[in-house]
Amino acid sequence: GKGIAVFTSGGDSQGMNAAVRAVVRMGIYLGCKVYFIKEGYQGMVDGGKYIVEANWSSVSSIIHKGGTVIGSARCMDFKERAGRLKAAKNLVDRGITNLVVIGGDGSLTGADLFRQEWSSLLEELVATKKITVDQQQKYRTLQIAGLVGSIDNDFCGTDMTIGTDSALHRIIEACDAIVSTAYSHQRTFIMEVMGRHCGYLAIVAALTSEADYVFVPESPPPDDWQKRLCDKLEQERQMGQRLNIIIVAEGAIDRNGDAITAEMIKKVVVDNLQQDTRITVLGHVQRGGNPSAFDRILGCRMGAEAVMALVEADENTEPCIISLDGNQAVRVPLMDCVKRTKAVAQAMADKKFELAVELRGKS
Report the DSSP beta bridge partners of residue 51: 37
Least separation, in Å, of the C-beta of 246 and ligand ATP? 26
The annotation status of 146 as a binding-site residue, yes or no, is: no
278-317 residues in contact with ligand ATP (CB under 6 A) are none
Closest CA to 141 of 123, 119, 124: 119
d(CA 12, CA 69): 10
Q: DSSP secondary-structure letter at 38?
A: T
Whole-angstrom distance, CA of residue 327 vs CA of residue 311: 23
180 marked among binding-site residues? no
Q: Binding ligand ATP by CB under 6 A: which of 55, 56, 79, 116?
A: 79
* Binding window for ligand ATP (CB under 6 A); candidates: 70-78, 120-128, 279-287, 341-349: 70-78
Active-site option among 112, 152, 165, 212: 152
152 is catalytic: yes
Residue 105 Cβ, how far from ligand ATP at the closest point, in Å?
Answer: 5
Distance in angstroms (rounded) separating the CA atoms of residues 207 and 213: 10
Residue 259 one-letter amino acid: A
CA–CA gap between residue 256 and residue 261 (Å, rounded): 14
Instruction: Report the helix count and the strand count for the chain, using DSSP H and E.
Output: 12, 11
Site string for ligand ATP, 139-178 (x = CB under 6 A): -----------x----------------------------
Q: Which one among 109, 158, 166, 188 touches ligand ATP, defined by CB under 6 A?
A: 109
Query: Residue with the closest Cβ to ligand ATP?
Result: 106
Which one of residues 103, 157, 291, 319 is an interface residue with ligand ATP (CB under 6 A)? 103
Per the CB < 8 A criterion, the answer to whether 186 and 180 are in contact is: no
Among 39, 46, 105, 165, binds ligand ATP (CB under 6 A): 105
Q: What are phi and psi of 241, to 5 degrees?
A: -70, 140
Residue 7 is a binding residue for ligand ATP (CB under 6 A): no
Binding mask 32-61 for ligand ATP (x = CB under 6 A): ---------x--------------------
Q: How far is the CB of 73 from ligand ATP (least distance, A)?
A: 7
> Residue 260 corresponds to which amino acid?
I
Is 342 near ligand ATP (CB under 6 A)? Answer: no
How far is the CA of 335 from the CAs of 28, 154, 332, in angstroms?
28, 15, 9
Q: Which helix (H) or strand (E) holds 144?
A: strand 143-148
Judged by the rule CB under 6 A, the positions of this chain that interact with ligand ATP are: 9-11, 41, 74-75, 78-79, 103-107, 109-110, 113, 150
